[in-house]
Amino acid sequence: MSKKQHFVMPTHKNDANKKVAYTNARLFDAESGLDAKGSLLTIGDSIADFGERLFSDGVPEGIEVIDCRGNILSPGLLDIQVHFREPGQEYKETIATGSKSAASGGVTTVACMPNTKPVIDDISVVAFIHKRARETAYVNVRTYAAISKHMKGEEITEMGLLVEAGAVGFTDDGLPVMNAGVMRKALAYSRELGVPIAQHAEDLNLSCGGCMNEGKISAQLGVAGIPNAAEAVMVERDIILAELTGGQYHVLHISTAEAIDAVRRAKKKGLRVTCEAAPHHFTLTDEAVLEYRTFSKMNPPLRAEKDRMAVIEGLKDGTIDAIATDHAPHDQESKRVPLSSAAFGIVGLETMLPLSLSLYHQKIMPLRDVMAAMTYKPADIIHVNSGRLKKGARADLTIIDLDTQWSIDPKQFMSKSLNSPFDNWPVKGRAVRTIVGGDTVFKWE
């Protein structure tokens, strides 16, 4: 009998006395280095206890038991760059469908990007996101707000009020902040507010409407390309501004060797600079466009092999802090068009974990480092208390079957959209249960 995905919508009314024992687990916490057989107990929405000797004499009556079957029991995964399209483009994705996609991928917390319609640049829109999340989300939904009003890059938003309303940081993702004065002011505010300024690093004067990486493949296809310099120049500029202001600067979906080197130098200087990489940038190159066409079109684009290897090296040495998907759902009409006209972006929440685990299975990175990039490190970037196994922490957990082999099938995605170049891609490892606030919201059985 084939296994199926099962979902349970959280009630957000957690029974404070509910006790659940997770037994026969491989307890795994990337920050502390814990990797041991044992059990974990949740009471209500919190982790009450865990360890190798817990329940060594059996689980007392009255406690629900979930047998982890030797699988990894980890802090829930975080994806700090997703586009849920609500409000304004619900035909592509909603908070409900996007969060269901997250749960299926073992992700318990997401951070939404603000390029919705209307833009998340006002406390009323932040309040709407939070309300819809409470009503419809399967996972914890946090949100960035826009750096500039209406994402026009001209005037910064009311950052203090937006942070009070719950924004975890600021970005005009989808568009870069081209005006250095606006970016300087935003970074100065970030220092005072204690939140990151996240940049889609692209100098529009250099990218000039390109639709893929500038190189031999773009020349072969006869389309305009985006040079590495478009990303690197913007990152170099912003790092100078981060040093000037003392602000917290974060590079979204970094993709080029030159930009990664710039971040590496900034870290060595002790600057508050972090970055993230998407799985497609350490898995594919621009040659994928020849096979997958518009389903391989994203921004920043898939780069050359030297850049793919630079992303991997950045993950290995810690220059790249986090793995985030840039989950960008699009309807078929936005993709089934010529390459130059197609929308940028692919879906990624349900493929993040298995694609990232390939770095472990191929003996490129230790499992601890791979999991760190999806748990406590992204949590630290947006300053949320998550991503760690510790007593008293919120019980957001993921059970991972590390060794199951399967093939990615976008037709089985929970997302409304299917735009992925990983159709029929063989992978190893998957989330088999996702727990949010002590409640199972997804299981594979």
Residue 248 token pair: 């917290």
Element (H, E) at 27: strand 19-29
Could you give the CA distance from residue 246 to residue 103 in angstroms, rounded to a whole number?
Answer: 36
Non-local CB neighbours of 310 within 8 Å, separated by 6+ positions: 256, 257, 260, 261
CB 147 within 8 Å of CB 114: no
Q: Which residue has the tokens 């307890």?
A: 27
Pick from 359, 351, 342, 343: nearest CA to 324: 351
Q: Are strands 439-444 and 426-436 parallel, antiparallel or unpaired?
A: antiparallel
- Please identify every residue annotated as catalytic: 326
How many whole angstroms from its chain centre is CA 347?
11
Distance CA 395, CA 196 (A): 25
Instruction: Check: CB of residue 244 under 8 Å from CB of residue 292.
Output: no
Tell me the backbone φ, ψ of residue 96, rounded to 5 degrees: -65, -55
Q: By C-alpha distance, which of 246, 361, 343 is closest to 297? A: 343
User: Which residue has 């020349």 as its token pair?
Assistant: 219
Count of H helices and E strands in the chain?
15, 19
Please give the Cα distance from 190 to 184 (Å, whole number): 10
* CA–CA dist 191, 188 (Å, integer): 5
Rounded Cα gap, residues 264 and 86, in angstroms: 35
Cis, peptide link before residue 410, omega less than 30° from 0: no
Radius of gyration of the chain (CA): 21
Q: Facing residues of 273 across strands? A: 249
CA distance 246 to 269: 12
Which helix (H) or strand (E) segment is 322 a member of?
strand 322-323
